[in-house]
Amino acid sequence: MAIDVLRATTTVAHALANGARRIIPCEQVEQARDVRDQEGPHILLGGEREGKLIPGFDLDNSPTAWSAAAVADREIAFTTTNGTRALIRASQADRVITAAFANLSAVIGFLQHDKRPIHLVCAGTDGHVAVEDTLLAGAIVAGLLTRGHAVELNDAAILVRGLWQSCATTEIERLTVIRSGLGATKLIALGMAADIDTAAQIDRVDLIPEYLPQSRDLRAACNQ
């Protein structure tokens, strides 16, 4: 499972909920452009570098920008500084989904009956641990345990669950922790604080984005 709360996996969840047909994650900017060159001008280009819209792209990485009006029934080649790289690196797993606070309950429900090992791959920020990704990982671990999932925790899972339990009492506390991190600090400096508020909201959508290795794209999982 890939996690990039600020903002790639949040944006993906919102995009698919708003009717996007498929999202094609790309590690590099030129790879995204190559997708459009190969598949046709109907492909939208979405993503960011250092938080900013990539020159010549149609969309940045703001979840609110990927509205129904912008993405419904569209296909998007998508590249971000951290999130799409983490997703592609996780693609060797038996099954790969993405998680955000936006689809937290759907993710927990999806995982609770799966007996396979669960790997939480946090994208981080510029090669460093990101508090918002860690917090979401803890929320997933805690949610699975609350629902009676027979899971054996490693030390990392114990740590992230402890972080979640220490600051999950209220939405204000959760947002305060997220805003304290490097990723949020960068977005605030860019004038994108509203994206942090959006990314911190729980259960805005009820679907699971799944990466399909055959087509190398993200679509809503067909069997939650």
Q: Write down the pTM of the prediction.
A: 0.96
pLDDT digits (tens, 9 = 90+) for 183-202: 999 999 999 999 999 999 99
The pLDDT assigned to 216 comes to: 93
pLDDT of residue 213: 85
Instruction: Tokens 């740590």: give the residue.
Output: 159
Residue ranges for the chain with pLDDT beneath 50: 224
Give residue 223's pLDDT.
Answer: 54
- Contact indicator for 33, 19 with CB cutoff of 8 Å: no
Domains of the chain: 2-212 (3.90.1560.10)
C-beta neighbour count of 128 within 10 angstroms: 11
- Cα separations (Å) of 4 from 120, 166, 214? 11, 21, 23
- Looking at residue 92, its pLDDT comes to 85
Strands 44-49 and 52-53, bridge-based pairing = antiparallel
- Core vs surface per residue 173-189: b (16+ CB within 10 A) or e: ebbebbbebbbbebbee
Structure token digits, residue 201: 């909201």
What was the pLDDT predicted at 15? 98
Residue 148: predicted pLDDT: 86
Separation CA 173–CA 205 (nearest Å): 22
